[in-house]
Structure 1
Amino acid sequence: MLVTGADGLIGRATTEHLVGRGWRVTALSRSWHAPLEAERVLTGDVTDQQAVAEAVADVDAVVHLAAIPHPDIDTPRTVFVNNTVGTFTVLSEAGAAGVGRVVTASSINAFGVPMNTHPVQPAYYPLDEESPVDHDDAYSLSKWVDEQTARMAHSRWGVDVLAVRFPLVRDAASLRRRSQQVVDDPDLGRLGREGWAYLDLRDAVVLIEAGLTRPLSGAHVVLATAADILPDRPTEELLDRFAPDVPRRRAFPGRSGLVCLDRVQELLGWQPRHSVHTPAPADDAMAVTA
């Protein structure tokens, strides 16, 4: 199987996890900052059709993680073109090569509200995959377009695609530091537009493997976050302060998460195991529920 963006945070963790689980992995990245154990390690850009065609040769699944991950990293045009062309190239070459399954990284920002430069709010809490879109930046729009490309790829080539709307994903130590910092962040209110969501890296890689192995047909979009919020504050206290007029479809006691996880649980049997607010379990082994 192929992992694109294999030199990134999630890419390295995914590659290491899958290799450790006995997968034969081809790792693709446009640059490398350290060695990586994989059956094949290729240097190339996902917007390069020839490089992608070589990478998908003789693989039966793809994890597509390569992207420019934030609108401020480059110009809006470069962000949009890189992300959408990269995803189209990976999905089209995978489809043409007869690859049966692709797990691709979308973003919690795909519905546009979190990074919108206007003072907009979500239509309701908890956020779900049907939250109305309101795009105002190239990155969020690119991720939404990638999800439409996944639907096209299934229709055109029959490849089954899972697009995961990831939030902030970090290792446990980084999340603990961020949790302590975020309560004083002047951007705390805007972060509420994405539900103050996060995901432990360990849960992310288990989710990706579930996306590769669980029975699945079609093109699906799922949100995947921790079960609670990142700030060490009561959820409803934050909502009262920053989003008092946004409808709440249920109560959010304690630090309850503001993202609905029903779809990912139904499709993959996955649920998050790690919280930034509790000590790491003695046994770090992770499992997907049956």
Structure 2
Amino acid sequence: MKRVLVTGAAGRIGSAVVAELLGRGVEVTALVLPGTAAPVKRVRWVEGDAADPVSCREALAGVDGVVHLAARPAPHRGTPYEVFGGNTLATFTLLEEAGVAGVRNAVLASSYAANGLPFADRPLSPEYVPVDEHLPSQAADPYALSKQADELTAAMMARRHGMNVVALRYPFVGDLEDRLLPRAEQIAADPATGAADLWAYLDTRDAARAAVLALQATGTHVFHVAAANTLAPYPTLDLLRRFHPATRIRAELPGRTTPLDLTSAERVLGFTAEYELVMP
């Protein structure tokens, strides 16, 4: 691809995606909210809202692919109407305009939270592990529901416009020093704090690489992407038995193996995480 549009390009994953694309010699257009643009060489900055068709049309000019990361990232980042309505309208608008413009490859940030566990108002457990994209959702918050809707929108747009669309279900994402290490220390002291996330994580650099690899996929897909191990310094099976005793364990999970099914992303995208937190 010669040029890729990245929405939410000033965010944690977005800025890493921009750097990954530039490192591969791909030109970038960045769609960001007004006032958040930061000058970067070889990046065309467009200020606007991904839910606005006019902004999308301007940003999509000359674009071969789209990585859509702009969203309110949690149910408390606005009213329920702003979180669900804003996230879903932005995804619908951007993919519709991309399809009309003839863009054939799009990637969007979904979330592990689509299953409803991370932001539930009471402890929930998955029906089974490893968690895959077919796990029945227990969503009861607007963010989880917005990610479910985004995945359905992606599938519809693929049929409507003949697009290739990949939704990546990201877990807890961060850089090593500022997020992953503090989170690991918190979980080590109290593993209950990571139970809803199944102690899963992904380094920001791997999150960016997964998005760029997904631009090359054909068809419509939903993938979990995460590090192969957990942030907890305890055996995964022990954690599951303690915090999710009713969950069916359908595969061997030796050591600190993440209880997420990563096989689809590895098979289709050739993606496995390169950066893992090494426990002492």
- How high is the TM-score relative to the length of structure 2? 0.94
Hey, what does 1:179 align to over in structure 2?
184
CA distance in 1, matches of 2:90, 2:26: 24
Any idea what the Cα deviations from partners look like across 1:196-218, whole Å, max 9, x if unmatched? 110011111111111113xx332
Alpha-carbon deviation of 1:38?
3.5
* Cα deviation, residue 245, structure 1: 1.9
* Aligned twin of 1:136: 140
Number of positions where the alignment pairs a residue of Structure 1 with one of Structure 2: 275
Equivalent residues of 1:24, 1:39 under 8 A apart: yes
* Structure 1 unaligned blocks of 5 or more: 280-290
- Counterpart CA distance in 2 for 1:178 and 1:143 is 24
- 2:255 matched residue in structure 1: 254
Cα distance in 2 for partners of 1:201, 1:113 equals 22
| 2:195 alignment partner, SS class | helix
Residue 19 in structure 1 maps to residue 5 in structure 2: no
Q: How does 1:16-55 map to 2 (within 5 A)?
A: 16-30=19-33, 31-32=35-36, 34-55=38-59
TM-score computed with the length of structure 1 as normaliser: 0.90
Residue identity matched to 1:227? A
- The correspondence of residues 238-253 of structure 1 with structure 2, limited to 5 A, is 238-253=239-254
- CA contact 1:12–1:36 (8 Å) conserved in 2: no
Deviation track 1:63-83 (CA, whole Å, cap 9, x = no partner) reads 000000011111111100110
**In the alignment, structure 1 residue 108 sits paired with structure 2 residue 112:** yes
- 1:8 counterpart = 2:19: no
- Match for residue 284 of structure 1? none
Structure 1 residue aligned with 2:220:
219
Cα distance in structure 2, aligned partners of 1:97 and 1:217: 18
Matches within 5 A, 1:60-71: 60-71=64-75
1:22 and 1:217 mapped to 2: Cα distance?
22
Are the aligned partners of 1:27 and 1:38 in contact in 2 as well (CA < 8 Å)?
Answer: no
Aligned partner of 1:266 in structure 2 is: 267
Say which is worse superposed, 6-15 or 106-115, in terms of deviation: 106-115
Which residue matches 1:75? 79
| Cα deviation, residue 52, structure 1 | 0.6
Which residue number in structure 1 is paired with residue 174 of structure 2? Answer: 170
Q: Give the 3-state SS of the residue equivalent to 2:31 in structure 1.
A: strand
Inter-partner Cα distance in structure 1 for 2:41 and 2:126: 42
- Where structure 2 has 5 or more consecutive residues not aligned to the other structure, the ranges are none
Q: Distance in 2 between matches of 1:117 and 1:73?
A: 16
Check the 8 A contact 1:110/1:143 in 2, yes or no.
Answer: yes
Give the aligned CA root-mean-square deviation in angstroms. Answer: 1.6
Quote the Cα distance in structure 2 between the aligned partners of 1:243 and 1:114: 14
Aligned counterpart, 1:92? 96
The alpha-carbon deviation at position 47 of structure 1 amounts to: 0.9
> CA–CA distance in 2 between the matches of 1:157 and 1:231?
43
Kindly provide the amino acid, as one letter, of the partner of residue 30 in structure 2. Answer: A
Q: 1:159 aligns with which of 163, 173, 178?
A: 163
SS in 1 for 2:278: coil
Give CA-to-partner distance per residue, 1:97-145, whole Å, 9 cap, x none.
0001001000001122332224431001111111111110000000010
Task: Work out whether residues 172 and 197 of structure 2, in 8 Å CA contact, stay in contact via their aligned partners in 1.
Answer: no
**C-alpha spacing 1:226/1:139, structure 2 compared with 1 (3 Å):** same
What secondary structure, in the 3-state scheme, does the structure 2 residue paired with 1:25 have? Answer: strand
What letter matches 1:252 in structure 2? Answer: L
- Show CA shifts across 1:156-211 (max 9, x none): 111110000001110122312211122334xx436323321100111111111111
Q: Is the 8 A contact 1:26 1:39 kept in 2?
A: yes
Whether the 8 Å CA contact 2:88–2:146 is kept in 1: the answer is yes
